[in-house]
Amino acid sequence: MVKTFLARSGQTVQSCHKLAKNRKMKYFALQWHGECFGESNYARVSALGTSNGCNTKCRSNRKQTCGGGWHNSVYRINDLPAARSSGPIYLGCYKDKGTRRLPKLLQRSNSNVGKCNAAAKKARLSYFGLQWHGECWGGSSVSQAISYGMSNGCNTKCRSNRGQTCGGGWHNSVYRTG
């Protein structure tokens, strides 16, 4: 749920992006022909899950979609639509437990962001997480992937790429597959 109201109807993706960025928000959302909202907590942004209800055009730019009635088109500040599909997008560090939040083991060890992204794509999974030096886990639900809550426990380097972080012990570095 994106909480901070930024502007009334008539906004576009670009104008809402600017409003949210100026307020130092990490995410922005458009709803119902161009109402603009902002938020910095991804858990709140994704709390209600995904929807196919984003079907209203922006009043100020009919080529853009501005959510729907009680449905948000959500964007990260650094990911305007043209750049969104170019690669995986880091969503944050999230806790994990024995009942896995990303239930499909894709690679047991020696993975990294590129390898895990490729494995998740091949398995047609929307999200993946790296854990404990290179385990690669995948899933289809972002709300499930982040349901144990955010953490600062992602502190282990990937064995196959020491320049990348591969989560931690029972902590996932979670990405949207790209």
pLDDT at residue 117, as a whole number: 95
Q: 114-131: per-residue pLDDT in tens? A: 999 999 999 999 999 999
pLDDT at residue 173, as a whole number: 94
Q: What letter would DSSP give residue 110?
A: S
| Contact status, residue 79 vs residue 175, Cβ threshold 8 Å | no
Q: What is the mean pLDDT of residues 98-105?
A: 96
Report field, pTM of the whole predicted structure over 0.85: no
| Contact status, residue 159 vs residue 110, Cβ threshold 8 Å | yes
Give every CB contact of residue 52 below 8 A, 6+ residues apart in sequence. none
| Contact status, residue 69 vs residue 30, Cβ threshold 8 Å | no
For residues 94 and 60, which has the higher predicted lDDT (pLDDT)? 94
Q: What is the mean pLDDT of residues 57-61?
A: 85
Q: How far apart are CA 70 and CA 112, in angstroms?
A: 37
- 94 pLDDT band, cuts 50/70/90, is very high
Please choose, from the candidates 138, 143, 124, 126, the residue with its C-alpha nearest in 3D space to the C-alpha of residue 172.
138
